[in-house]
Structures are given as C-alpha cells and as structure tokens.
C-alpha cells in the first residue's frame, strides 16, 4: 500500500447522502458484525462533529442559518471555523457563558441509538464507491 493510500482522508455523511469515493456513509442493511461496527463508529464520529458544530453555531450566530451565512470560498470558511474554534476554546477556559438566547444544544444529535439509514428508491452507489467503503470496513472493522 502506498504512502498516500495509508493517509487517505474521507468526509462522513449520513444516510441522506450517496456513498461516494470521498464520502463515507452508513451501510443501509448491515449483514456482518464488521459492517455493524463500521456503522456504529461512523455514527459516533458524526455525533461528535454535529455537537461541535452545534456549540460553535450557538456561540457564533453567523455560522447558524438564522444568524447569517458564510458566503466565502471553502478554504476561507475553513480558516474562519478554525478561528472560531480557537475563540470558543478561549471562552471556555475563561468561563465566558453563552448568551441567554443562545442554545448550546442547537444542532446537537440526540443521544441514544443510531438513526437507521433511510431507505431510498435510489440505487446504491456505483461499484467503485461501494468497494471503497468495503475496503475501509475490511481494513479497520474486521
């Protein structure tokens, strides 16, 4: 396996997104324990990300659709998110409270069982994209 293959990065998506070579989504009907472990790990990771975004959107309303939007290039938005994350961490260290009208649970995925993938009339992703997810499952969840 080449150096680039070992350090590959993927985005995580929920079952509303198609499984693409760069976007890993849950297995719709897991048939093996490895697929169940993959789905659980994928769900737990997405939950952490959703909670983080919820906290940032509660503290910085311009990140929330009701308070504004970031109409910039993806690279610039990434830099803005990093800056807001650093400011949020500083606010936590200095015990700066959220404003009363802010809801730190805004956008948080509810605790409990993972949401079952939504059945869709659409066909599964093409073979290469399914093989990509399958190779991740084989490599990390067997």
User: Could you please report the per-residue DSSP string of 22-59?
Assistant: TEE---SS--SHHHHHHHHHHHHHHHHHHHHHHHHHHH
> How far is it, in rounded angstroms, from Cα 103 to Cα 58?
6
Percent helix, strand, coil in the chain, to 5, is 50, 5, 50
The tokens 């990390």 sit on which residue? 140
Q: Can you give the pTM of this predicted structure? A: 0.61
According to DSSP, the residues that pair with 20 across neighbouring strands are: 23
**pLDDT tens by residue, 27-39:** 999 999 999 999 9
> How far is it, in rounded angstroms, from Cα 122 to Cα 101?
41
**pLDDT tens by residue, 53-66:** 888 888 888 887 77
Tell which residue, 123, 122, 113, 91, has the closest CA to residue 104.
91
**pLDDT tens by residue, 68-123:** 677 888 788 888 889 999 999 999 999 988 775 545 554 443 434 343 333 333 44
Tell which residue, 98, 96, 115, has the closest CA to residue 58.
98
Quick one: tokens of 58?
A: 């509660």
């Amino acid at each position: 396996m080449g150096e680039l293959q070992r350090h590959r990065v993927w985005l995580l998506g929920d079952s509303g997104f198609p499984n693409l070579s760069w976007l890993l989504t849950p297995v719709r009907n897991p048939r093996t324990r490895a697929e169940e472990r993959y789905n659980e790990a994928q769900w737990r990771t997405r939950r952490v990300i959703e909670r983080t975004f919820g906290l940032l959107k509660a503290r910085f309303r311009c990140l929330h659709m009701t308070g504004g939007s970031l109409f910039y290039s993806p690279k610039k938005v990434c830099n803005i998110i990093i800056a807001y994350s650093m400011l949020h961490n500083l606010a936590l260290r200095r015990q700066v409270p959220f404003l009363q009208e802010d809801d730190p649970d805004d956008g948080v995925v509810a605790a409990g069982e993972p949401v079952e993938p939504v059945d869709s009339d659409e066909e599964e992703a093409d073979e290469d994209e399914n093989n990509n997810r399958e190779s991740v499952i084989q490599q990390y969840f067997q």
